[in-house]
Structures are given as C-alpha cells and as structure tokens.
Amino acid sequence: MNQDSILRALVADNLVSDPTSARGRLLHEAARLFRDKGYERTTVRDLAAAVGIQSGSLFHHFRTKEEILKAVMVETIRLNTALMQAAVDAAETDRDKLQALVRAELESINGQTGEAMAVLVFEWRSLSEASQAYVLRLRDIYEQLWLDVLEALRHAGMLAAEPFVVRRMLTGALSWTVTWYRPDGGLTLDDLTEQVVAMMGLKASRA
Amino acid sequence: MNQDSILRALVADNLVSDPTSARGRLLHEAARLFRDKGYERTTVRDLAAAVGIQSGSLFHHFRTKEEILKAVMVETIRLNTALMQAAVDAAETDRDKLQALVRAELESINGQTGEAMAVLVFEWRSLSEASQAYVLRLRDIYEQLWLDVLEALRHAGMLAAEPFVVRRMLTGALSWTVTWYRPDGGLTLDDLTEQVVAMMGLKASRA
DNA sequence: CAATACCAAGCAAGCGCTTGGTTTGTAAAC
DNA sequence: GTTTACAAACCAAGCGCTTGCTTGGTATTG
C-alpha cells in the first residue's frame, strides 16, 4: 500500500474528498488560508475567491464556515491515521516502528498535508465544542498507534520515561517543526528523524 | 535574586508594568482572554468588561487592540528572560543548568505567566509584521541562553543531537505542555522536568 | 486648575450568511 | 438527435449584526 493507493481507498469510501473535486479543492485552499492567516482572519470571501466563486456560493457546499474548518481537520486525521497505520505495519522492530512513526508524522506536518496539520494544531479553539469532541474521538485512534509502540519500548527497558509523557512531548516537538523547518535548509526529513530518535537516547533492549 | 525581586527590578526600570496598576491588570486579563478565546475572538468590549470599564476607555491606555497583544508578549518575554538568566546563574554544572532551564520554562508556561506564554505561542500570527520583528529580537536573547548551555553539553559529548535542533524540539515539547499538563493530575512540575531530562538521555561527560 | 481617567453614544467598515433568480451538466423521452 | 426535465452549481445583491475605534463631554486626583 503506497500513499496514493491509501488515499484512493479513503476517497472510494467517502471518508476523504477527492482532491480534484470542487469540495476537495476548496478544502485544500481553506487549509492553506487558515494556516497562513488563521481561521478568524480568513473571510468566506477569501475562501470563495481562492476557488473562483462568489462568497454566497460557498454555502451551497457547506452550511457554515465552521463546517469547512471541521472538514479540513476530520479528513486530515483520517488520511494520516491510515498513513501511520501503514508505516507501523511495514516496520519490523519496535525501534523501527517508532522511527517510522516519527518519520511519518514529520512527513505529514511538513509535506503534502502540512497546511492542514498546522490548522489542526493552531486552530483547535475555533472549533465548536461539539466538533471538538468529534475530532477528539478520531484523534484517540491515531494516538493509540503511538502509545502501543512506546509501551512496547518501555516494557523492553529501552525508554527512560513514561510513554504518555513521551508521546505528548513528541507531539509538541514534531508539531513545532512546522514553524521553523524548511526542506531547503540543508536538513532533510530523514536527517531530522535521525536527530529526534538520537535525542531520545533509546537504550539497548534488555531482552 | 528571587522571583519577586526580579519582577520589582523590571517594574522599576519601566520594562514591565506593575501588576497592581490599571495597565498591569488589563494586560493580565488580556492574556487570559487571548489564551481562552484567541485574540481575534476577544473583542475590545470583552477586554474592557474584564477590568470594569467601557470599551472606549481602553483607547486611553492603548492606541490599538494590537498594541495590547504586543505589550502582553513583550513584557512576558522580558520577565521570563530575566527569570531564566537567574536560573542559569544559580546552577553549577551544565547538566544542572539545562535542568534549571527546563524547570524554569515549564514554570513560566504552566505557572503565573502561563496565560501570556500561551498567547506568545498561539497568537503569533495576529501580530503585525513590525511587531513580530520587534518581539523576535527580544526572543533571540532568550534563545541564546539555551543555546549556550546546549552547546557546552554537546562539546562535552553528552548530547547526541545538534543543539539548535534540540532547542527547537524542546521549545515545541515544553510549549505543548500548556495544552495537556494540569498540576492536579498527579504529576508535579518537578516530575515533569525529570522525565524530560531523562527522555533526552544525556550521556556521561567525556571530561 | 490642569492632567489623567473615564463614560455614553455612535460611526464606518467588515463580517457570516440569506435570498431569489440564472446558468450548466446530464440523461431520459420522444 | 433534438427536446424536455430537473437538480446541482453558481451569481448578484444585500440584510442584520458586530467589530475596532472616535468623539465630546464629565468626574477624579494631585
């Protein structure tokens, strides 16, 4: 399963919008605008202009502006959960699984879905409470992928801190790369992955 | 130099507003509101109501709403830079200095100045470019404190990754605690500091 | 008696969203 | 293979409300 086929499978199940459809293009532009200017500073007129329609026509596709924000977040989580799952499945050892997760999350934050991931981090409070609860449930699935791997490492004596603390620190550290990492800065995502794993100082397995 | 005397010195030099003055109280309330609802969602009427005056009266103290956001950020950085400097100076070894910095930053994020620190992280884009540039210069001083310590550790062979990468990861990891850490959750800031330092897996000095 | 701090009222602009009507794509009916 | 039918997609206009900020005047304080 490569990235493209994972995306296609989700589109087929109607869990993610086809990027070439009107809805898909709007969500992509919305993610970019929300990241660049913030949700509140982005007007429905901005969103409409970005896809070349009138502001009123937006409401043919979405009932409210907030629904657009929610859709950006929901679809992003769905896609990345599937990508993460594939990354974990493809790795052999727990250490490799962790490295694969770090690499995949860095990719999701700084690659194709980067705009949407930044929105997920920085525009959280602009979601209504009901939407927050919904997105949170999706996020839990995603987080469990991490915790399973970290707990295995902890159990093997390779991890010096509590898995849930480690995961939260990693969430912050990796999310934050969106504010400073630039692929043309002489540091590849592989380099970065290596540095992160090195920094964590995993010990040799007791087993 | 304890924390109170550091604050008093800054107030005396007019670098930070007296927390008991009208301006100081407004900035404190503004930080709280900006963190809770975001800068854009917080209206000047909200701000005025929080200190018990009319919205128009705000503009006697600040020329624009953005100036309030800028003041929150500037004063917070000034205070925390001074606190950090004191923490570093008080520690002996480089390892202890790092631990002191981690502890101090966790304190600043989750303690008294927590609201303002969260604003600094999440409301950055709401600042005008001119203000961003100004705040960035102040931040550089603060960051250099960290880099000096991390470079010393690296030089001693205790650090497995590049200092500037480590600092950026730490910035993200520690900032992120504001979204999940609760002091009443059975984990003290000391515990957390310990876990962070443990997670980094500092090696024994070569010296 | 001047400066500082505030109030009451409201303006101009921009906001999300609605409305009534027109175009466009598609596919069956003839 | 043209006509008819109809929904989806869109436009032009603008409504009602909120926003940051201004104005002219009044207390309060040293």
* A20 CB contact with strand D at below 7 Å: no
DSSP-derived 3-state class of residue A139: helix
Q: Does residue A59 lie within any of the structural domains?
A: no
Per CB-CB distance under 8 Å, the chain A contacts of B203 are 201
B176 pLDDT tier (thresholds 50, 70, 90): very high
Contact state of A199 with B160 under an 8 Å Cβ cutoff: yes
Tokens of B7: 């604050």
Q: Does residue B178 lie within any of the structural domains?
A: yes
pLDDT digits (tens, 9 = 90+) for B126-151: 999 999 999 999 999 999 999 999 99
Q: For residues B59 and B119, is the Cβ–Cβ distance under 8 A?
A: no
Q: Does residue A118 lie within any of the structural domains?
A: yes
Residues A9-19 have a mean pLDDT of 89
Strand D contacts (CB < 7 A) among B residues 9-48? 42-45
* A55 CB contact with strand D at below 7 Å: yes
Q: Does residue A123 lie within any of the structural domains?
A: yes
Tokens of B152: 């010393």
Strand segments, DSSP code E, in chain A are none
Q: Side chain identity at A205, as an amino acid letter?
A: S
Question: What percent of chain B lies above the pLDDT cut of 90?
Answer: 85
Q: Does residue A96 lie within any of the structural domains?
A: yes
Nearest to A16 by CA among A76, A58, A68: A76
pLDDT digits (tens, 9 = 90+) for A107-132: 999 998 999 999 999 999 999 999 99
Whichever domain contains B172, its CATH number is 1.10.357.10
What is the number of structural domains in chain A? 1
Q: How far is B200 from chain A (nearest CA, A)?
A: 5
Contact state of B166 with A199 under an 8 Å Cβ cutoff: yes
Q: CA neighbours within 13 Å on the CB side: how many for B175?
A: 24
Residues near chain C strand, CB within 7 A: A 42-45, 55-56, 59, 63-66; B 22, 48, 52-57, 60-61
Q: Does residue B182 lie within any of the structural domains?
A: yes
* A21 CB contact with strand D at below 7 Å: no
* A94-110 and A114-122 helices, crossing angle to 10°: 90
Q: Is B202 in the A-facing interface, judged by CB distances under 8 Å?
A: yes
Q: For residues A46 and A33, is the Cβ–Cβ distance under 8 A?
A: yes
Examine the pLDDT at A205 and tell me if it is beyond 70.
no
Whole-angstrom Cα distance, residue A95 to residue A111? Answer: 23
Q: Residue B103: which domain range? A: 3-15+65-199
Q: Side chain identity at B46, as an amino acid letter?
A: D
Nearest to B171 by CA among B123, B113, B102: B102
Q: Does residue A37 lie within any of the structural domains?
A: no
Q: Does residue A51 lie within any of the structural domains?
A: no
Rounded to the nearest 10°, the torsion over CA A114, A118, A121, A127 is -110
Q: How many CB atoms sit inside 10 A of residue A19's CB?
A: 13
Whole-angstrom Cα distance, residue A135 to residue A67? Answer: 12
pLDDT digits (tens, 9 = 90+) for B78-87: 999 999 999 9
Q: Is B190 in the A-facing interface, judged by CB distances under 8 Å?
A: no
Q: What integer pLDDT is reported at residue A1 of this predicted model? A: 67
Q: For residues A191 and B165, is the Cβ–Cβ distance under 8 A?
A: no
Q: How many CB atoms sit inside 10 A of residue A184's CB?
A: 5
The CA distances from residue B86 to A68, A144, B52, B101, B104, in Å, are: 47, 40, 36, 10, 10
Spatial distance from the CA of B68 to the C1' of D3 (Å) = 67
